Structure 1
Amino acid sequence: MNTVDTLTQYAVQYGLQAAVALGILVAGSVGSRWAGNFAQQALEKQTLEPPVRLLLVRIVKIVVMLFTAMIALQTVGVPIAPLIAGVGVAGVGIGLALQGVLSNVMAGLSIIFSKPYKVGEHISLLGVHGDVVVIDIFTTTLMHADRSRVIIPNRKIVGEILHNFGAIRQVNLTIPVSHRTNIDEALAQVKDILQQHPKVLKDPAPGAGVSSLGESSIGISVAPWTAVGDYGSVQGELNKLILERFRARGIELPSSHHTVHLVNA
């Protein structure tokens, strides 16, 4: 009977505390969600990068949940000071074990605040290139020209040489023509095509000129600017248009030929 009374006493005493602590945790979960939504709405009015807003919203939620957990632990009689000290010691070990993850986080914060590139820009680094589609705390995701995704850990990016093309790229074409070609006429036709093409930017102005003098041909360099998303299509379209225009105007393209000398033995 004494055992039953003792269990009943503990159940009444600690069961009530546990129920209160559980209620506090539930309220904290709801409160963290509400605080996160409120922070999200407030930060959307500010000129911040999406990863920065995401990070700040997560921090708000974590702080609310940690504060709620401390209150719940105190409710059930757990001393907080020794727990905090133990968490600090455990944090050191966890930090050593997660050096790679933490270095990615620090590199991600550096990228977010220093802004060496932004979403929508075309960059090249570490032997890969593509359009920036996502900048996260841990990684940066590029969209390659073949529509594959390249995911780069942020710690690999910081400290490396990075080529940022921005939102526009320069197309570089070399069109060979025969030595008998009227160069002024050929350049005039190329410039007219560049002027009329809807995807070729007017500013910066496209360039066209003689780039090389070969034994069998003269190289005409064509260097227009276009939006990053139009880079691939513009190359093919310009080659096709220039070829058709040259044929229509009688501008001769070089053809390889060999002269064979027969020597009488």
Structure 2
Amino acid sequence: MKATTRFIISLIWYGMIGLAVAASFGVDVSSVILGSAFASVIIGLAAQTVLSNVLAGLALLISKPVKIGDRVTIATWQFGSVFPTYPPKFFSQDILINGFTGSILEIKLMYTFISDDENAVLAIPNNIILSSSRFRTYRDKIVTTVRFPVKNMDVDSAKMKAKKAVERCPMVVEHKILIDEVYQDSYVLKIIALCKGNRQEVCRSEILESMLKEFSNSAT
């Protein structure tokens, strides 16, 4: 950031010196300024995307809405929210944010680099970062939601078993267990857990595995 500021100041300073030298040799400075302004307009129109990315990069570096290491979801206006469906094919009340999710590796003038959950590095133009909605999560913790269908068991017993199963998961820091859906012969437990790390699928897998073991023991 300091190097960029010094470069801009130096550019302006040398430009002023150049105009002063040209004026000392009798050059019509007003014509030079007018020609430079016209050329700047043409170049600006031709390089609008580049300039918007650079200006957005400066804004990101100054205002710091996100920082290196933050886990974020970048959702642009082109993509709306979507409702997911989960087995056993009931309609979920959750909303998924459709966008790019990952951890910020580096913020430069033109691009912000984000590492996704597959360790692929995404280079997102800074004007998209600046104009998008940014959803930031904990750096070292993430909230995970797990649904688990239950049949032929009273609610209190099921919640007790779910509590034992979740408390056995090393990744889970805090949790709560709710009744999410009720059907004629079954219901769905909803576990909302605050987990260590920033990978939802890893924590969800750990909770589901523990739940399956706990409930399969009761069935045998």
Q: Which has the higher helix share?
A: 1
Match of 2:165 among 188, 193, 200: 193
Q: Does 1:244 align with 2:213?
A: yes
Aligned to 1:129: 100
Q: CA RMSD in A?
A: 3.2
The percentage of aligned residue pairs carrying the same residue is 22
Return the letter of the residue paired with 2:156: D
Q: Does 1:174 align with 2:174?
A: no
1:69-218 equivalent positions in 2, closer than 5 A? 79-81=21-23, 85=32, 88-89=36-37, 90-124=39-73, 125-126=75-76, 127-131=98-102, 132-167=104-139, 168-178=141-151, 180-201=152-173, 205-218=174-187
Give the TM-score of the pair, scaled to structure 2. Answer: 0.70
- Higher Rg: 1
Aligned to 1:51: none
Is the 1:199–1:234 contact (alpha carbons within 8 Å) kept by the matching residues of 2?
yes
Is the 2:166–2:210 contact (alpha carbons within 8 Å) kept by the matching residues of 1?
no
What is the CA-CA distance between 1:66 and the residue it aligns to?
8.1
Return the letter of the residue paired with 1:170: V
Give the TM-score of the pair, scaled to structure 1. Answer: 0.59
Unpaired runs of at least 5, structure 1: 1-54, 253-265
Distance 1:65 1:158, change over 3 A: closer
Q: For 1:41-94, what per-residue CA distance to the aligned partner results, in whole angstroms no more than 9, with x for missing partners? A: xxxxxxxxxxxxxx21233356568868999x8xxxx94445984684444432
Aligned to 2:89: none
After TM superposition, the runs of 4+ consecutive aligned structure 1 residues lying more than 4 A away are 61-71, 80-84
Unpaired runs of at least 5, structure 2: 77-97
Aligned to 2:3: 57
How far, CA to CA, are the matches of 2:138 and 2:208 in structure 1?
Answer: 24
Q: Which has the higher strand share?
A: 2
Work out the number of aligned pairs and report it.
189
- Decide which moves more: 131-140 or 188-197: 188-197
Return the letter of the residue paired with 1:171: T
Q: Secondary structure, in 3 states, of the residue corresponding to 1:169?
A: strand
Q: For 1:75-124, what per-residue CA distance to the aligned partner results, in whole angstroms no more than 9, with x for missing partners? A: xxx94445984684444432232111111122222223333322222222
Is the 1:108–1:137 contact (alpha carbons within 8 Å) kept by the matching residues of 2?
yes
Q: For 1:157-188, what per-residue CA distance to the aligned partner results, in whole angstroms no more than 9, with x for missing partners? A: 3333332234232111110111x213222222
Return the letter of the residue paired with 1:223: I
| Bigger RCO (CA 8 Å, 6+ sep) | 2
